[in-house]
Amino acid sequence: MAKPVDYASTWLYRVLYTSLYPLLVTWFDWTVQGHEHLPKDTSTKILFVGYHTTHNWDVLMMAMAIKDALGEPPVGLMHSAYVALSPWVSYLGGVEGTRANAADAYQRGHRACLVLPGGVEEAVAGFENAYTVNWKSASGRDRTGFAEVVLQAGGVIVPVVVQNAQEMCFSPVFFLSNVSGLSRVYDTLMTLPLGIGWFLWQLKQVLWLLFSFGSSIPLPVKATLKFGPPLQPLQHESAAAFAHRVASSYAAMLATEQPGGLNYTRALQARFGR
């Protein structure tokens, strides 16, 4: 059997973990809660699921916080376009988010994978839809692949919520396109037939990938990662039913930890208004 990849020993991971990560922990007053919800049995396969922000800065911190908690980095199941355009993520444990790659990671001996089931669709939903759980594809189909992964691995899902995740960064590019109505006009154009809408959707994903990280301005808000109680499939539960139950449970947890949705003022006050 192939051995797990020691991502933590790669030069890029070591540099980011020892240099950038501590700086971001300080900048965001980053704390982690809910360790009691992590399975104590180290043979238990874990799939961490989270919300997809616009800026992606939280994903790196989420993955490294999981590394702190488990002692090893999770394998990140990512959008194929992101992996193609950002090959450096492979040094951090990022792979194309397919069921086959997830199964391979578990078979190699990796304890955990991390996935954001909402994908790009959730990330580009607009500021007015921040913290709205949308685990559907662009065609409107419910995403169930993450549930199938857990069913196959015989593992559990651990939800991860980061309070003030979206407020961690502000993107003038995305904000202006949203408040000007340009993004909604673009979304309307994506409904055009003859492949035009499909092409515009692909272009939107590429533009988001190009601007999501680099155009975002980090804000010194208070950010807290919380692990939720693990969820495991019930006997004879289908992947679709399990996926729906996980999505509903995650939405409830997110609403509890982030009441009222997006609020930059509240996020800053949580840091400085004590």
pLDDT, tens only, 42-87 = 999 999 999 999 888 899 999 999 999 999 999 999 988 778 878 8
Count how many domains the chain has: 2
Residue 262, CA distances (Å) to 25, 52, 135, 166, 215 in order: 21, 14, 19, 7, 19
Query: Strand 224-227's sheet: what is its strand order?
Result: 31-33, 224-227, 156-163, 46-50, 112-115, 75-78, 94-96
- Name residue 250's amino acid: Y
178 neighbors 244 (Cβ within 8 angstroms): no
Can you read off the two tokens belonging to residue 78?
């990512």
* Separation between Cα atoms, residue 33 and residue 36, nearest integer Å: 8
25 neighbors 162 (Cβ within 8 angstroms): no
**Judgement on whether residues 160 and 36 belong to the same structural domain of the protein:** yes
* Separation between Cα atoms, residue 106 and residue 184, nearest integer Å: 40
**Judgement on whether residues 85 and 190 belong to the same structural domain of the protein:** no
In a domain, 98, yes or no: yes
* Separation between Cα atoms, residue 125 and residue 132, nearest integer Å: 9
Question: Cβ contacts of residue 181 below 8 Å, gap of 6+?
Answer: none
**Judgement on whether residues 82 and 180 belong to the same structural domain of the protein:** no
Can you read off the two tokens belonging to residue 151?
């069913």
In a domain, 118, yes or no: yes
Mind listing the pLDDT tens digit for each residue in 22-47?
999 999 999 999 999 999 999 999 99
**Judgement on whether residues 133 and 12 belong to the same structural domain of the protein:** yes
pLDDT band at 274 (very low <50, low <70, confident <90, very high): low
In a domain, 2, yes or no: no
**Judgement on whether residues 72 and 176 belong to the same structural domain of the protein:** no
Confidence at residue 140, expressed as pLDDT on a 0 to 100 scale: 83
- 210 lies in which domain range? 172-215
Mind listing the pLDDT tens digit for each residue in 112-128?
999 999 988 888 887 88
**Judgement on whether residues 105 and 209 belong to the same structural domain of the protein:** no
Question: Cβ contacts of residue 101 below 8 Å, gap of 6+?
Answer: 75, 77, 95
Strands 156-163 and 169-170: unpaired
- Name residue 109's amino acid: G
